Amino acid sequence: MNLVNTDYTFYCYGLMSTKYTHQAQLFSGKFVVAPDFGPPALMIADYVWWHNNEREILNWMAEHLPRGIEHQQGMTVTFDTEAERVMFLLKWS
C-alpha cells in the first residue's frame, strides 16, 4: 500500500462557510482518507480507475459490507466502522 501524506482542504457538511485544513492520506492514488469528521470515509481520487472497476467493487461491497452498495455516495465511500474501511483499503488499494 503506497501511503503519501498531503495537505487537502475539507469542508464540513452544515458548515460550508467554515474551512478546515487537515492532514489527509492518499492511498495508491485511488483514495483520499479524510480526517474524522464523522463516520469513517474515503474519497475516490482516481475516477477512471473507479469507473473501470466499478462493477467488481460494487459486487464486493454487496457481499462484504452491511449496507452493500449504499456505502457509496457520489465520490465518497462511507463505512460504519474503521475495520470496514481498513478491509476495503486492503482489498482495493
pLDDT of residue 32: 84
Number of domains, the chain? 1
pLDDT of residue 24: 53
3-state secondary structure of 92: helix
- Condensed to tens digits (0 to 9), the pLDDT of residues 26-62 reads 666 788 886 666 789 998 989 999 999 999 999 999 9
pTM > 0.85: no
| Segments forming the whole domain that contains residue 77 | 3-92
* Confidence label for 68 from pLDDT (cuts 50, 70 and 90): very high
Nearest by Cα to 35 from 85, 88, 93: 85
Beta-ladder partners of 21: 9
pLDDT of residue 31: 85
pLDDT of residue 13: 38
Contact 43, 34 (CB under 8 A): yes
